[in-house]
Amino acid sequence: MTSSFPWLSLLLVLPLAGAVVIYFVTEPAARWIALTATLADLFVALPLWWLFDPQASQMQFTEHVAWITAPPIYYSLGLDGISLPLVLMTAGIMPLCVLASWNAITTSIRGFMAVLLVMETAMVGVFVALDFVLFYVFWEAMLIPMYLLIGVWGGPNRLYAAIKFFLYTFVGSVLLLVAILVLYFYGGHTFDILALNQGTYPASLQMWLFLAFFAAFAVKVPMFPFHTWLPDAHVEAPTAGSVILASILLKMGTYGFLRFSLPMLPDASRILTPMMVALSIIAIIYGAYMALAQVDLKKLIAYSSVSHMGFVTLGLFVLNQQGIEGAVLQMVNHGITTGALFLCVGIIYERTHSRLIADNVGLAAPMPQYAALLVIFALSSLGLPGTNSFVGEFLVLVGTFLWSKVATAFASLGIILAAVYLLWMVQRVVFGVPSPHHLPKLKDLNHREFATLVPLVLLIFWIGLFPNPFVSRVHQSVTNTIASMSRAKVAPTAHPSAGGAAPLLVDSGAQPKTQGPSR
Amino acid sequence: MSLYGADLLALLPELIVAAAACLIIALDPVTPASRQDLLAWLSVGALALCLGITGGQINVLNDRVSAFSELVVVDAYARFWKILLYGVTGLTIFMSLPYLKAERIHLGEYYGFILLALSGMMVMVSGVDLLTIYLGTELMSLSLYVMTGLNRSKPRSLEAAAKYFVLGSFSSGILLYGISLLYGMAGSTRLVSIAGAIATRGTDEPLVLIATILIAVGFSFKLAAVPFHMWTPDVYQGAPTSVTAFMAVAAKAASFAAFMRVFVEGLGGLKSDWSVLFLIISVVTLVLGNVVAIVQTNIKRMLAYSSIAHAGYALIGFVAAGRGVGASGGMTGLASIMIYLTLYSFMTFGAFAVIGMLRKSGIEGEEIEDFTGLAKRQPLAAFLMLVFMGSLAGIPPTAGFIGKFYVFMAAVEAGLAWLAAIALIFAVVSAYYYMRVVMVMYMREPDPSSVAPPRLATSPALSFVLACAVAGVILFGLFPSPLVSFALQSVLTLK
């Protein structure tokens, strides 16, 4: 809209081009190529922040090219206030991942960097795709690179973690494919996400579709009963893999809920809100509780992710402006903060070769810079006012409060527990009594590591103190989503065959299969 | 007219292939061993000639031309399959050049048999008379029986040939019995007459139903659909790898082509009956194929079960066609099978080509374990295998995804969303064993104690085959439109 320059295609092509170039270079050069490609991508993404028009209610920077003719599938891209922060975050995190892997990855560096770059294309693609099939292609294209990332460069139990990650996410996403196909025939023979958002669907069909979407997105988030792949994947993945997982991949689940489930299936979303809120609160408390018990730093942060992502899904499914805006902001916050924490774990692992809290005690004395940054990230993660997470969690809780006071009370427990496990961790790792035998070896952060972490610190305080630039860009798109939901509320009356509003749940159970339309 | 000039012209590609086959078999004894490759080049030349004729035939003859009083037709549907078969046969020949040398199979007839099998397949895809189709099936099968046993020094190869022969003849008998019953009912073996007889006499007649079931069983053997799949693993494992690839791709495609024509043109009146039958067969096939593939340790056996499972996926398109609902009246279902099998050809052929290259101290390495650490030693080959495995699992942006997409699209259009869901869940099961190959290649360290680790024997011909396969997998994954519209047009001539 604002510009005819194909910004988004450039964003997609740059990393891929980097991956191709890497094929022709030597191992050490691969790092520089990867860094160049990711930084170039970041510099293409950054102008979008200013070019983006916060007032506009439609998609911006759109591209629309026919890809497959029968059925009509388009190479259709666009950005709105929801995807903009996520795209920027992805572009921002990736150079840090390359930097974090600079010395940590010693075997087949070329392959590693190429995989990272392919991942970047796929991840950006997920956030900017406006055609459902294109979205699905990007969504699935991530599977094999991530599988390799965990399986080839991971820890000792990597094979198990890699295949577990792969199968969990694949099961969820194949059901998504069926749902996409069903929507095609109901939504007027189109895969256009915006057109499908406008459609109204019978309430019983919505329930089925919601469950299929849920299978894909809830696994990715991960929501409570489907989270078991996450700790395994995080622990075994290399640092960059953990950061990508936590910062970006998990957001795809919540992004999916926000982009598809809410606007396309508003009735089902409304009916299932109690379930979603309950699962979110269970995730918040259970994740925090599990984090308390961990002795492995990566596992601790992994479970804290489960807890924090619970806040995001909670904010989404209370279905009001504050909640959803908070959720979007919290997606970015979690990406920054948890990514930073994983980077910190990676840095200490390179020095002590252990992720156990017990092996990394009392770092304040030998590594003061590191300790200071770790404290900042921990405080951000627990939502201290002045840091980014406070703003997001606060908005989510306000939204929840409007929906149910009891739910808010339970969700707030998560913040308290977060303070407990994070401060306890900080107490031991930073201020504990050091074990004398390994401390002399520890060197403080070098310039590269410092450069990896400092941008994140700046972001934490920027969002924490001046959230308005973020919220204002998100605002219009969230308003659209909510408007789209309330407009589609008329669906049951428009389709009397669906059996009215009251017996919806019963209806959905009795409806064995979806029928193709006879148009 | 005593000499059927027009008829012979319509059958020209078949005649050329058959003549080339005879020529090769005749030339074989007089060709010195060092010149055996010339026979392969001769067959490639024949294929190229046929490709030109078949490609041009439709433009000249337009629509649908029947020859030999409605025994065979030349139409866009047959053309689609013939072009696919030429391509696969050509790749098989290129793959065989280095493979036969490495396996020390010095038999010039080999290429003759390939062409004979091909001419059988061509008759199958263009036949519109049950006996003609049967003839083509037998010509294909007999050639394949021989080719399976060509590795005479390996007991397993001979065992596979014997097994294949016994079970194959058995299934041919069943098919023939079904044909005879239909002949008894319609008084003709022409598909048109059978369709007419079914229309006038109704579909309730037990004779017709029994005949339909027998024919379905006969074809299920050829397609390797459960419960008639028993021969597949043994034969795929025992046969020389180039022959396995040929069987897994070309024989399956030709069988599907004939099968679709018989059931749509001849037995179309019984749609509602056979769509239920094949619904059950397809579910059982893809479930069993995928589940049993998990426990295989031999990669050729694993791919055998995987090919069974893929037949199950393709059959879903057929079930959707049988339902005949939606805007297209089921035609998209048939087209989806054509798309699926074309794309399946590329990825399966690529996978077998990699297997054919794998050498373990001079012998063919065909255990999954033999791929251990391949990514370290031959990264490009490992990457190609990764692409083929990902495509077989149906992960975008590879061709495998496009194939599945169209099949499931047809299923959902026919109101079978639940079937698509089941099939896709089992696609995840299949991903497990495909990814295990990737895991072994990329994530396992090679055994340091082994003296001669398995490696890939590369050669220009094999590189060409792999390049074609990987180009097909990736290009059709990214730009499927030409193939899709070709299939959608071609299927329209099927009535």
For B392-417, what is each residue's pLDDT tens digit? 999 988 999 999 999 999 999 888 88
Span A180-220, pLDDT tens digits: 999 998 888 889 888 888 888 888 888 999 999 999 999 99
Cβ of A516 and B396 within 8 Å? no
* In a domain? residue A503: no
> Looking at residue A61, what DSSP letter applies?
E
Please tell me which of the candidates A148, A182, A519 has its beta carbon nearest to residue B442: A148
* In a domain? residue A218: yes
**Identity of residue A31:** R
B103 Cα to chain A: minimum distance (Å): 33
* In a domain? residue A509: no
Q: What is the mean pLDDT of residues A226-231?
A: 89
Q: Residue B183: its pLDDT value, please?
A: 92
Binning pLDDT at 50, 70 and 90, where does residue B361 land?
Answer: low
Span A81-131, pLDDT tens digits: 899 999 999 999 999 999 988 888 888 888 899 999 999 999 999 999 999
Among the listed residues A138, A142, A127, the one whose alpha carbon sits nearest the alpha carbon of residue A8? A127
A176 Cα to chain B: minimum distance (Å): 9
Q: Which of A502-516, B299-313, B366-380 has the lowest mean pLDDT?
A: A502-516
Q: What is the mean pLDDT of chain A?
A: 86
Q: Residue B204: its pLDDT value, please?
A: 78
* In a domain? residue A514: no
Q: Residue A352: its pLDDT value, please?
A: 83
Q: Tokens 């098919």 identify what position?
A: B175
Q: Tokens 């010693």 identify what position?
A: A106
- With a cut of 80, say whether residue A509 has pLDDT above it: no
Q: Residue B100: its pLDDT value, please?
A: 84
Binning pLDDT at 50, 70 and 90, where does residue A327 land?
Answer: very high
What is the span of the domain harbouring residue B126?
Answer: 1-266
Q: Residue A440: its pLDDT value, please?
A: 62
**B293 and B193, same structural domain?**
no
**B273 and B233, same structural domain?**
no
What is the span of the domain harbouring residue A317?
Answer: 7-494
Cβ of B443 and A158 within 8 Å? yes
Binning pLDDT at 50, 70 and 90, where does residue B3 land?
Answer: low
Higher pLDDT, A486 or A242: A242
Cβ of B415 and A166 within 8 Å? no
**B461 and B364, same structural domain?**
yes
Span B224-258, pLDDT tens digits: 998 889 899 999 999 999 999 999 999 999 999 99
Span B445-466, pLDDT tens digits: 776 666 566 667 778 888 899 9
Distance CA A369, CA A186 (A): 58
Domain count, chain A: 1
**Identity of residue A424:** W
Interior CA angle at B171 toward B169 and B177, to 5°? Answer: 105
> Does residue B301 contact residue B236 with C-beta atoms inside 8 Å?
yes
Q: What is the mean pLDDT of residues A419-446?
A: 81
> Does residue B478 contact residue A67 with C-beta atoms inside 8 Å?
no
Span A345-378, pLDDT tens digits: 998 888 888 888 888 888 888 888 889 999 999 9
- With a cut of 70, say whether residue A39 has pLDDT above it: yes
**B231 and B286, same structural domain?**
no
A339 Cα to chain B: minimum distance (Å): 26
* In a domain? residue A512: no
Chain B residues bordering chain A (beta-carbon distance below 8 Å): 325-327, 375-376, 379, 386, 390, 395-397, 401, 405, 408-409, 412-418, 420-421, 424-425, 427-428, 431-432, 435-436, 438-439, 442-443, 480-481, 484-485, 488
Q: Is residue A515 less than 8 Å (CB to CB) from chain B?
A: yes
* A178, A183, A186, A187 alpha-carbon torsion, rounded to 10°: -160
Q: What is the mean pLDDT of residues A469-477?
A: 87
Domain count, chain B: 2
Pick the residue from chain A with its C-alpha nearest to B427: A174
Binning pLDDT at 50, 70 and 90, where does residue B57 land?
Answer: confident
Distance CA A259, CA A217 (A): 11
Distance CA B342, CA A236 (A): 39
Point out the domain boundary residue: B266, B301, B328: B266
* In a domain? residue A513: no
Chain A residue numbers with beta carbons less than 8 Å from the beta carbon of B415 are 513-516
Q: What is the mean pLDDT of residues B355-382?
A: 80
Q: What is the mean pLDDT of residues B345-368?
A: 83
**B406 and B448, same structural domain?**
yes
Point out the domain boundary residue: B232, B266, B300: B266
**B220 and B287, same structural domain?**
no
A162: number of CA atoms within 13 Å, CB side? 30
Binning pLDDT at 50, 70 and 90, where does residue B172 land?
Answer: very high
A158 Cα to chain B: minimum distance (Å): 9
Cβ of A111 and B415 within 8 Å? no
Structure tokens at A427: 């107490």
pTM of the model: 0.91
**Identity of residue A420:** V
> Does residue A385 contact residue A397 with C-beta atoms inside 8 Å?
no
Q: What is the mean pLDDT of residues B206-234?
A: 91
Q: Residue A492: its pLDDT value, please?
A: 45
Span A260-319, pLDDT tens digits: 988 888 889 889 999 999 999 999 999 999 999 999 999 999 999 999 999 999 999 998
**B308 and B222, same structural domain?**
no
Binning pLDDT at 50, 70 and 90, where does residue B139 land?
Answer: very high
B423 Cα to chain A: minimum distance (Å): 9
Q: Residue A304: its pLDDT value, please?
A: 92
B317 Cα to chain A: minimum distance (Å): 14
Chain B residue numbers with beta carbons less than 8 Å from the beta carbon of A111 are 375, 379
Distance CA A430, CA A382 (A): 16
Give the max Cα distance, chain A.
Answer: 77
**B310 and B228, same structural domain?**
no
Please tell me which of the candidates B379, B413, B424 has its beta carbon nearest to residue A185: B413
- With a cut of 50, say whether residue A503 has pLDDT above it: no
**B416 and B389, same structural domain?**
yes
Chain B residue numbers with beta carbons less than 8 Å from the beta carbon of A131 are none
Mutate to test the interface with A, among B294, B332, B383, B405 (most CBs of A within 10 A): B405
- With a cut of 60, say whether residue A493 has pLDDT above it: no
* In a domain? residue A266: yes
Q: Residue A396: its pLDDT value, please?
A: 92
Q: Residue B305: its pLDDT value, please?
A: 94
* In a domain? residue A510: no
Higher pLDDT, B2 or A435: A435
**B218 and B320, same structural domain?**
no
Q: What is the mean pLDDT of residues B186-201?
A: 89
Point out the domain boundary residue: B247, B266, B285: B266
**B137 and B192, same structural domain?**
yes
**B301 and B167, same structural domain?**
no
